[in-house]
Amino acid sequence: MSPARAAAWHALLRVRSGGGRFDDSLAAFPELEGLSDRDRALANELVVGTVKRRGSLDAVLGAFTKAPLADTDGEVLEALRLAAFQLVFLDRVPAYAVVDDAVAMVARKGKRTRGFVNAVLRKVAEDGREAFATLSDGNGARAWAARQSCPVWLVKLLRRELGDEAAERFLDAADAAPERCLRVNTLKADVPAARTALAAAGFTTTGVPGLPAALVYDGPSLERSAPFREGLVTPQSQGSQVAGVVAVAGAGPGARILDLCAAPGTKTAQLAAAAPQARITAVDDDELRLGAMRHNLDRLGAHGVDLVNGDVLDLPVAFDDAFDAVLLDAPCSGLGTLASRADLRWRRREADVARLAQLQRRLIRRAARCVRPGGVLTYAVCTLPHAETLGVADTLLAAGGWQADDLGAAWPGMAHPAAGGCLLVLPPAHGASAFFVARLRRVSAAGG
């Protein structure tokens, strides 16, 4: 059996069981340790592709099986999906090798199961691509779901929120390999010095218009490189960097900045680099994530940040009216991150949007009380639905005493189509992750 395919299958079983953290590098998966660089790259591609394309693969497999796929043994189903991904979406692997390896994966399940897997995959090898073309043809929600490998409820939501053209572009980007973006840490290096160090480590880089510290890069694992270890650079999407730039704009020496729901500290470090003379307080309720955040800030040389382990909804009274700028990067459905979080589309449920929006409205009201009169509150989420974006910002605006800054004037290419003063950073035009950003200014003593 191919080492890469064997490792990919075992990693898929780990994803299925929820026993491993899934990210696009699969850095936390022990199944990939010990592989050669070539096999590791292939295994990574197979796992990410199989998970992202699960909806498409199940549609194709379902066309060649009599019993519902939901009744199939988990180990067998993941072997079928892994093989079907290679047969339908890849060209460089011989079909016989893919089928033989899938049969070997389920060998201990018995002769009948081996025969079932062999028969189904030989049909997929012969007619799978034609079946996929048929199943994904049309404008109905189910055809979209098969074509874009997405739950039907999410297809309907995105089409309703974005319109068909933008929704299709977004989902095309979600199914592609995500753009790799980093931020140069100006606490330790300027952009030319960082690019020189990255080039020496085997990376190619390209600047990003409007984001001077951002670089799109290609090359080996960033986290294993010397520029990363030395704190010269850190991974951060374009949308995330836009949120940080908006939050810190105008913060002069001595400004007090509050970063809420701050772990793992990506934006906290950005704020510290952009406003080195500001006084920054970062709050998160997860002690373990705060520990990782301390390590990250130390690597980046972002010293002097006051870390607080606490619940945003239970902040001390001393925080009220105390900060010039507050950043609330609230917990959200994360639907803007489908490209980099391959399994998220299958873990989320439609009810999550309303549940999280309710929490976000409570969080923004508490965050608003921390802003001094004349100060600003930046609300950012890496998602798209109205309920979690404009609906939350409108909660505060409707209370009185607040007005929305016109961010669209400064970032016209990212102006929200339904509310141009807010930003909607959308793939593929602006990176791999979607972000909503609103900056609300306290104009009276009424607070939130």
Residue 191, C-beta contacts closer than 8 angstroms, at least 6 positions apart: 184, 207, 212, 213, 215
Q: Do residues 67 and 29 touch, judged by C-beta distance below 8 A?
A: no
Pairwise CA distance, residues 52 & 149, whole Å: 7
Taking only the tens place, the pLDDT of each residue in 125-180 is 999 999 999 999 999 999 999 999 999 999 999 999 999 999 999 999 999 888 89
**Annotation says 382 is catalytic:** yes
Q: Do residues 369 and 260 touch, judged by C-beta distance below 8 A?
A: no
The pLDDT of residue 448 is above 70: no
pLDDT of residue 445: 67
Query: Which of 274, 276, 237, 246 minimizes the C-alpha distance to 382?
Result: 237
pLDDT of residue 202: 97
In this prediction the pTM is 0.92
Task: Average the pLDDT over 250-272 and give the result.
Answer: 94
Q: Do residues 247 and 378 touch, judged by C-beta distance below 8 A?
A: yes
Asked whether the CA dihedral 98, 103, 105, 106 is positive or negative, the reply is positive
pLDDT of residue 25: 57
Task: Average the pLDDT over 288-299 and give the result.
Answer: 93
Taking only the tens place, the pLDDT of each residue in 53-89 is 999 999 999 999 988 888 899 999 999 999 999 999 9
Taking only the tens place, the pLDDT of each residue in 307-328 is 999 999 999 999 999 999 999 9
CB burial string 119-133: b at 16+ within 10 A, e below: ebbbbbbeebeebbe
pLDDT of residue 177: 85
pLDDT of residue 27: 64
3-state SS assignment for residue 422: strand
3-17 and 95-105 helices, crossing angle to 10°: 50
Catalytic residue among 181, 261, 332, 382: 382
Domains of the chain: 3-135 (1.10.940.10), 181-222 (no CATH), 238-442 (3.40.50.150)
Task: Average the pLDDT over 372-401 and give the result.
Answer: 96
Pairwise CA distance, residues 207 & 215, whole Å: 5
CB atoms inside a 10 Å sphere around CB 139: 8
418 DSSP 8-state letter: T
Residue 47: phi and psi, rounded to 5, are -65, -50
CB burial string 252-274: b at 16+ within 10 A, e below: eeebbbbbbbbbbbbbbbbbbbb
Greatest mean pLDDT range, 18-27, 152-161, 439-448: 152-161
The tokens describing 212, both together, are: 């001077």
Task: Average the pLDDT over 101-105 and give the result.
Answer: 95
Peptide bond into 428 cis (omega under 30): yes
Pairwise CA distance, residues 423 & 407, whole Å: 7
Residue 35: phi and psi, rounded to 5, are -75, 155
pLDDT range class, residue 28, cuts 50, 70, 90: low
pLDDT of residue 71: 87
Q: Do residues 177 and 185 touch, judged by C-beta distance below 8 A?
A: no
Pairwise CA distance, residues 172 & 149, whole Å: 10
